[in-house]
Amino acid sequence: MRVLIVYYSMYGHIRKMAEAVAEGVSEVAGAEAVLRRVPETLSEEVLEKMGALEAQKSFAHVPIATVDELASADAIIFGTPTRLGNMCGQMRQFQDGTGELWAKGALVGKVGSVFASSATQHGGQESTILSFHTTLLHQGMIVVGLPYSFQGQMRIDEITGVSPYGASTIAGGQGERMPSQNELAAARFQGKHVATIASKLARK
């Protein structure tokens, strides 16, 4: 069973979460976690101005996702940083290239799930995930979130991302905060949860 983790990360926060999601997927017997980046749409010049060029170079070895491989996955977990409360443009562009899959109904009945990152605590993680779900539903996917059986959802003793909609992390205004242990645990839980559901569906 193949679970694709398709993400965009500018500075590495979503990338770190994606790796934790992959760990969670791999905990399920027979599930293979496959990490993919969506194509970059910004020039090197713009990335340099945004202070993201070095980080981008360090991700270069992660293969770029193709639209076609979505169709052969059993489940797809998407990761995106928040951009003004929505998914980032790179991810939107990738999604907008899936019209042919939509026309064929190629993703109908597959499990889909989303995780996110924002600079600030209330900067749009939930709206990013929920608005992304609209796209998954248009593709006929079965939307899976992060249930409260993930105990870290209840934490109020420390600042944390994470909601019933999906794992998330707070990056800080300068990107200075990397995902906390609780946020990484949420990402692992979400990966395992999605793979478990997908494996039950695959057996039917």
Ligand X SMILES: Cc1cc2nc3c(=O)[nH]c(=O)nc-3n(C[C@H](O)[C@H](O)[C@H](O)COP(=O)(O)O)c2cc1C
Which residues sit at the interface with ligand X, rule CB under 6 A? 9-14, 81-85, 117-120, 123-124, 171, 175
Q: Rounded to the nearest whole angstrom, what is the least distance from the CB of residue 97 to ligand X in the complex?
A: 20
Of residues 57 and 138, the one with the C-beta less far from ligand X = 57
Of residues 41 and 106, the one with the C-beta less far from ligand X = 41
Of residues 117 and 135, the one with the C-beta less far from ligand X = 117
Of residues 12 and 152, the one with the C-beta less far from ligand X = 12
Q: Rounded to the nearest whole angstrom, what is the least distance from the CB of residue 12 to ligand X in the complex?
A: 5
Which sign does the torsion angle of CA 119, 37, 113, 67 carry?
A: positive
- The secondary structure of the chain, three-state, reads CEEEEEECCCCCHHHHHHHHHHHHHHCCCCCEEEEEECCCCCCHHHHHHCCCHHHHHHCCCCCECCHHHHHCCCEEEEEEECECCECCHHHHHHHHCCHHHHHHCCCCCCEEEEEEEECCCCCCHHHHHHHHHHHHHHCCCEECCCCCCCHHHHCCCCCCCCECCECEEECCCCCCCCCCHHHHHHHHHHHHHHHHHHHHHHHC
Q: Rounded to the nearest whole angstrom, what is the least distance from the CB of residue 120 to ligand X in the complex?
A: 4
Q: Rounded to the nearest whole angstrom, what is the least distance from the CB of residue 112 to ligand X in the complex?
A: 20
Q: Rounded to the nearest whole angstrom, what is the least distance from the CB of residue 66 to ligand X in the complex?
A: 21
Of residues 55 and 143, the one with the C-beta less far from ligand X = 55
Of residues 2 and 83, the one with the C-beta less far from ligand X = 83
Dihedrals phi, psi of 84, to nearest 5 degrees: 55, 40
Q: Which residue's beta carbon is nearest to the bound ligand X?
A: 123
Q: Rounded to the nearest whole angstrom, what is the least distance from the CB of residue 103 to ligand X in the complex?
A: 31
